[in-house]
């Protein structure tokens, strides 16, 4: 694997670090299996692409994308909290609707952004090679977001959110409005994913309605890899483990794809991902069974 391919994998891993944080918030903190992200990721990409091509500055486009992602989360939360639709099903409904929404937003299936300024453009003048500047900028961003998220989860409100996910009955008995926590948590989670979509569009130079397929699996893979790397961790370490998990996962996939003897092609990515996640889910159980035997 070349240095450029390696840094490319790190870069992608850091972008999906935001997805991992969002998925962690939904799956682990709120205990809400949320597939909305498969729609909110491309929506983030689409809104950012449209914003950029309309002359809006790159940073503002990130905020717009995050806001758009949050709205998706709110829709899913609304279906679940207000109407009692099963969480998984509610998120699938939103996801499927978003495919059409994304086509409407862009007006076509994909958009190129090759000559647009991005958030990284100003940093290309620093004299560091381009393929290293990008991951550096992303690293700073994702660390800031993880610190903010960690601080949020350590607050009274964040603690209530963790309780609402872990033990809704107890949370309610302690005056926590569980429904409201789901709204806020889902908005945050999908906002992070929308942000990731926007960063992906800016860095990759395009937005595509199909780019969201498997976002949830990749996010979950990152969370699981992170949890495997750091067990018995504090909340802040768990958040950074998600980001690290995302990077490790991308580098591992890159290694697998560039190992000639495996006969893998880039188009095998989703298959490889599914197999890796399945293994990560099965292995702890097998280990436990062996220990019990």
Partner 1 sequence: MIAAENIHVTFNRGTPLEHKALRGVSLTLADGEFVTVIGSNGAGKSTLLGAIAGDVTPEKGVIRVGADDVTREKPALRARRVARVFQDPLAGSCANLSIEENLALAACRGVRRGLGLALNGARRARLRDRVAELGLGLENRMGDRMGLLSGGQRQALALVMATLADAKVLLLDEHTAALDPGMAEFVANLTEKLVVEHKLTTLMVTHSMRQALDHGTRTIMLHEGQIVLDISGERRRTMTVDDLVDMFRRVRGGAELDDDSLRIG
| CB closer to partner 1 out of 121 and 234 | 234
- Kindly state the smallest distance separating residue 109's Cβ from partner 1, in Å: 41
6-to-63, 215, 244, 248, 262 alpha-carbon distances in Å: 29, 21, 15, 11, 18
Judged by CB, which is closer to partner 1: 83, or 263? 83
Residue number, 43 or 176, with CB nearest to partner 1: 176
Residues that bind partner 1 (CB under 8 A): 152, 154-160, 162-163, 166-167, 169-178
Cα–Cα distance between 97 and 195 in angstroms, integer? 19
User: Under a CB-based contact definition with an 8 Å cutoff, are residues 258 and 1 in contact?
Assistant: yes
- What is the bridge-based pairing of β-strands 110-112 and 206-208? antiparallel
| Nearest distance from C-beta of residue 175 to partner 1, angstroms | 4
DSSP-derived letter for residue 206 is E
**Of residues 179, 152, 198, 243, the one with CA closest to residue 47:** 198
Choose between 23 and 153: whose C-beta lies nearer to partner 1: 153
Tokens of 63: 């905020």
Shortest distance, position 60 Cβ to partner 1, whole Å: 24
Q: How far is the CB of 176 from partner 1 (least distance, A)?
A: 6
Contact yes or no for 208/109 (Cβ under 8 A): yes
Q: Cβ closer to partner 1: 157 or 287?
A: 157
Report d(CA 197, CA 62) in Å as an integer: 9
CB of 84 to partner 1, least distance (A): 15
Rg (CA), the chain: 19
DSSP symbol at 84? -
> Least Å distance between CB 231 and partner 1?
13
Measured in whole angstroms, the distance separating CA 7 from the mean position of its chain's CA atoms is 19
Q: Is the CB of 3 or the CB of 170 nearer to partner 1?
A: 170
């Amino acid at each position: 694997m070349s240095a450029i391919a390696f840094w490319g994998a790190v870069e992608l891993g850091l972008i999906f670090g935001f997805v991992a944080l969002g998925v962690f918030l939904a799956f682990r903190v709120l205990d809400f299996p949320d597939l909305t992200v498969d729609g909110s990721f491309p929506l983030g990409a689409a809104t950012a692409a449209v914003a950029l091509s309309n002359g809006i500055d790159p940073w503002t486009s990130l905020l717009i994308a995050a806001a758009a992602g949050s709205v998706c989360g709110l829709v899913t939360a609304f279906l679940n909290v207000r109407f009692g639709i099963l969480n998984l099903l509610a998120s699938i409904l939103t996801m499927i609707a978003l495919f059409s929404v994304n086509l409407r937003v862009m007006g076509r299936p994909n958009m190129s952004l090759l000559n647009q300024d991005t958030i990284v453009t100003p940093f290309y003048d620093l004299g560091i090679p381009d393929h290293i500047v990008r991951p550096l900028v992303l690293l700073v961003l994702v660390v800031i977001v993880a610190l903010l998220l960690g601080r949020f989860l350590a607050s009274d409100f964040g603690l209530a959110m963790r309780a609402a996910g872990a033990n809704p009955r107890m949370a309610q008995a302690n005056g926590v409005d569980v429904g409201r926590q789901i709204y806020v948590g889902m908005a945050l989670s999908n906002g992070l994913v929308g942000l990731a979509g926007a960063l992906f569009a800016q860095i990759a130079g395009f937005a595509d309605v199909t780019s969201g397929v498997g976002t949830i699996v990749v996010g979950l893979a990152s969370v699981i890899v992170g949890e495997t790397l750091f067990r018995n961790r504090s909340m802040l370490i768990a958040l950074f483990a998600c980001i690290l998990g995302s990077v490790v996962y991308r580098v591992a996939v890159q290694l697998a794809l560039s190992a000639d003897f495996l006969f893998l092609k880039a188009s095998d990515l989703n298959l490889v991902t599914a197999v890796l996640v399945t293994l990560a889910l099965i292995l702890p159980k097998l280990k436990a069974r062996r220990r019990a035997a």
